Amino acid sequence: MTDAKRDFIEFMLSADVLRFGDFTTKSGRQTPYFVNTGNYKTGAQLSRLGSFYAAMVHDACGADFDAMFGPAYKGIPLASAASIALWRDFGIDKPYFFNRKEVKDHGEGGSLVGYKPKDGDRIIVIEDVITAGTAVRETMPVLKAAADVTVNDMFISVNRCEVGQTPGKTAIMEVQEEYGIQVHALVTVQDIHDYLAVRDKSLAGKMEAYMDKYCVL
């Protein structure tokens, strides 16, 4: 495991974003761990989180994109933090935008806030996790309805490596096949397991049972 991955896992733990226990995911699966980016709540946390994402975006894309999109709701602060850190850490100034879940019928109207995408734009998506791919399938129609954009890359905190709708394929594999999107993750479920393996063998065992049942590694 790299130092960067270990640092990010410990950062999530310190912010109570990565938690262990008995949880139910959006897909209805019972899981021994949960990632809730809604628990980031301080300026220092968002600043550091933005740096993690910015480094990942910089390594994968450099400045070769037009704007970043943060899906409502948890993607909104993630995209905001990433855009700030990209400028602060790498001198890359890119616009960002996000959607409302309810379309506004007064003022400027519409469902998008911030940058207005144009035909031909290359958009990157900033999200928290992908479990079953539901959020991605909700996001793509929103972007395509706004303009004829291209989405080649998505950046997430944790790749849960879970089976999607097709046996033998993870939700991320399905996203890549359906939409041509390359998904980049700061850490994977295997990284989290490996971190626990030397610190809490009981939790690591629960992770192994879950991974055997739901994950494709």
Helical packing angle, 171-179 and 134-146, nearest 10°: 20
Cβ–Cβ under 8 Å, residues 204 and 197:
yes
Q: Is 184 a catalytic residue?
A: no
Catalytic one among 104, 118, 144, 213? 104
In the chain, the DSSP E strands lie at 18-24, 30-35, 67-70, 96-104, 110-114, 122-126, 129-130, 150-159, 182-188
CA distances from 149 to 13, 75, 117, 143, 173 (A): 36, 19, 7, 7, 21
Task: Check if 94 is active-site.
Answer: no
What residues are labeled active site? 104, 106
